[in-house]
């Protein structure tokens, strides 16, 4: 079985080619693979009857998840190179995604439409998703409060802050990740709007912790910022591992994510 170690803007993946050889790791095996290969997510490529490939995803904690934006860009890069097609289709548990080559060796993935109903996130109760009732810290003077929430195939809570580097994210992230309002947990974004076209972002990923980049987190931050009129519908998202361009297009309501992909090495096991 072929294995690729890849990253998208620093978001690290171990990608297993399971199109011919079955790959069904236990949660403990996923945790061991992620530790050995220093991967935020473990991904399996599987055959799909109607799409170019099916992408199965596990977080570093061993839990299977439905979406991973930078992982989709990494898979798109592999399948684009393998097939020579101008566009490839990737099926996930969450949605069908489309991948394209972009200028400068970058890769774009059409992430589909954001989901903004409270039941889509999901939340434990009906609430205005533009600012939900979550507070971290003293009740009368919380450290963080009222994040915007959205689903990009996985749940995201986005706090808009004045200085993203002023927060101890490894301490604060877990307090929000499994807050009772999020029955399936949530990814937690800390977003600093620099200007109408630039957002500085750090993300505590559900099941993976603080990562160098999070593709769906970048999409979520842009959508929430644009809804609040803090930015336009297209912006640069500056993450610890690199920069992503997120474009929430009005014509089809889809979110397009463009950024770098690096193949660190490949091997056969």
pLDDT of res. 137:
87
* 176: in domain: yes
CA nearest neighbour of 76 among 60, 93, 88: 88
Q: State the pLDDT at residue 23.
A: 96
Q: Are residues 91 and 197 in the same domain?
A: no
Domain count for the chain: 2
Whether residue 218 sits in one domain with residue 144 = yes
For this structure, is 219 an active site residue?
Answer: no
For the stretch 189-242, pLDDT in tens is 999 999 999 999 999 999 999 999 999 999 999 999 999 999 999 999 999 999
Q: Is 177 contained in some domain?
A: yes
Q: Residues 101, 46: one domain?
A: yes
Counting as low any pLDDT under 70, the low residues of the chain are none
Can you give the pTM of this predicted structure? 0.94
- Asked if residue 179 and residue 158 are part of one domain, the reply reads yes
pLDDT at 71: 97
Catalytic residue among 9, 12, 65, 68: 68
Domain of 28, CATH number, reads 3.10.310.10
Q: What is the pLDDT of residue 140?
A: 83
Query: What is the predicted pLDDT for the residue at 9?
Result: 96
User: By residue range, what is the domain housing residue 172?
Assistant: 135-253
- The DSSP annotation for 155-194 comes to EEEEEE-S-GGGS-HHHHHHHHHT-TT-TT--EEEEEEEE
pLDDT tens for residues 180-191? 999 999 999 999
Pair 189, 263 in one domain: no
Which pLDDT value is given to residue 222? 98
The residue from 42, 65, 79, 214 that is catalytic is 214
């Amino acid at each position: 079985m072929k294995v690729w170690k890849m990253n998208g803007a620093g978001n690290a993946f171990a990608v297993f080619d399971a199109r011919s050889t079955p790959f069904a790791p236990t949660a403990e095996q996923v945790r061991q693979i992620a530790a050995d290969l220093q991967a935020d997510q473990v991904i399996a490529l599987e055959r799909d009857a109607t799409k170019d490939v099916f992408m199965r995803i596990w977080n570093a904690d061993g839990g299977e998840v439905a979406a991973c934006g930078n992982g989709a860009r990494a898979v798109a890069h592999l399948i684009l190179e393998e097939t020579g097609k101008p566009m490839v289709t990737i099926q996930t548990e969450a949605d069908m995604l489309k991948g394209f080559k972009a200028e400068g060796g970058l890769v774009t993935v059409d992430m589909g439409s954001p989901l903004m109903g409270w039941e889509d996130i999901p939340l434990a109760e009906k609430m205005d998703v533009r600012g939900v009732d979550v507070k971290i810290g003293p009740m009368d003077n919380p450290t963080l409060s009222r994040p915007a929430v959205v689903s990009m195939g996985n749940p995201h809570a986005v706090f808009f802050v004045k200085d993203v580097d002023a927060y101890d994210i490894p301490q604060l992230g877990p307090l929000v990740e499994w807050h009772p309002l999020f029955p399936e947990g949530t990814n937690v974004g800390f977003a600093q709007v620099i200007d109408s076209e630039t957002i500085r972002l750090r993300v505590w990923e559900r099941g993976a912790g603080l990562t160098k980049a999070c593709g769906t987190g970048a999409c979520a931050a842009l959508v929430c910022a644009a809804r609040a009129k803090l930015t336009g519908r297209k912006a640069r998202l500056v993450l610890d591992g690199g920069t992503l361009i997120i474009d929430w297009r009005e014509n089809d309501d889809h979110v397009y994510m463009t950024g770098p992909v690096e193949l660190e090495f490949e091997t056969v096991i």
